[in-house]
Amino acid sequence: MRAKVSLTRQLGRGTFVRRHDAPSGDGSWSDSSPAEINEIRLLLEPAIAEWVVARATRSDVDRIRECYTNSLKAKSVEKFEHWDAEFHSSIIKASKNSMLVKIYESINDARHQIEWYQMKRRSLNALRRSNYDKDHRRIVEALESCNAVALREALADHLQAVGHNMLNP
């Protein structure tokens, strides 16, 4: 049996190879394709917009804005990916639903697959990065204005664009 591996990036520490020896069907999502990962994100993130608007604290909104600001400053794909993952995780955490947070942690683990990273690297160019920055700004503005409808639309638009761009580099 061949061991599956994925890359795990830790800001300030480096990139590490993670080995997956468990057989298929163990609850691990390591077999999920980048398209499947994005599909589940598209299903989940916009759907919780109302919870996020209703439950987010000032601290949650500040953290989301901090992640957005740091993603704007990111010079490498690795740093952008880190802050992008933190941005979306912070939105999920603002829902105050612990089960959803755990599910999303699994989704983020799946995003650390080498396939995801390679597709993201191939698909991310200056124009798309600029568009993602604008999308993230729209998301932050919708949250700060407590507009759940705008937040839902901004998240859906962003994740549809990410999925399209990754599958059509």
Write the pLDDT tens digit of every residue in 12-53.
556 656 655 443 334 455 577 888 888 999 999 999 999 999
Cα–Cα dist 137/131, whole Å = 10
Residue corresponding to tokens 């995780």: 89
Answer whether residue 108 shows pLDDT above 60: yes
- Give the integer Cα–Cα distance in Å for 99 and 107: 13
Report CA 168 to chain centroid distance, whole Å: 18
| Strand runs labelled E in the chain | 4-10, 14-20
More confident residue, 150 or 8: 150
Partner residues linked to 121 by β-bridges:
none
Quickly tell me which residue has 């999303």 as its tokens: 104
Provide CB contacts within 8 A for 74, sequence distance 6+.
Answer: 80, 82, 83
